[in-house]
Amino acid sequence: MRNYLVLAIALILVGCATPVERVASTPSGSPEVTINADIQSVRNAVINRVLSYDGGYSLISQTDNLLEFERTLTGTGESMVAALSVGNSYSNNTRVLRINLINSGNNQVRVIAKNYMKAVMVGGQVNMEPLESNNVFNLYYNDFQKLKQELELAN
């Protein structure tokens, strides 16, 4: 009898959850946008935008085609998820945002974001797990659309 009660409660809770739909579908499956501007303007705008995000991202690596940002996890919920999914209670857990800039020529730059949870274990082993929820996708996709409008209006 107890098993049926637990099963019934689980079904009710699952049935109540309303999934968030993605606002768009992209070729890469990641948040992306093509911006009609020169690559240097796009790179500078992306850097400034991400550094202004809540949570305190820092630029840790920059090449011609890749920007990598990292921030410490905020709140115990985010830290607990990282410890359970990629690390443990002793690991150094962070969030990583990698943004690829693909210069298509003719002042067209494709911007693609990938977000990860990262854990550096005590022995130095690094574990990374992509964050691919629809909420994360929508957040970056919508922000990239705003960035596109700002840059294209300025040019």
Q: What is the pLDDT of residue 12?
A: 53
Domain of 61: which CATH number?
Answer: 3.30.310.220
Tally the domains of the chain.
1
Cβ atoms of 109 and 42 within 8 Å: the answer is yes
Q: What is the pLDDT of residue 17?
A: 59
pLDDT average per 10 residues of sequence, the chain (155 residues): 49 60 94 96 96 90 96 80 82 91 92 93 90 92 96 87
99, exposed or middle or buried, with CB in 10 Å at 0-12, 13-18, 19+? buried
Residues 31/144, Cβ–Cβ less than 8 Å: yes
pTM: 0.82
Q: For residue 16, what pLDDT is reported?
A: 56
DSSP assignment of 93-155 equals: EEEEEEEEEEEEETTEEEEEEEEEEEEE-TTS-EEEEE---HHHHHHHHHHHHHHHHHHHHH-
- Residue 98, domain extent: 2-154
pLDDT for 116: 93
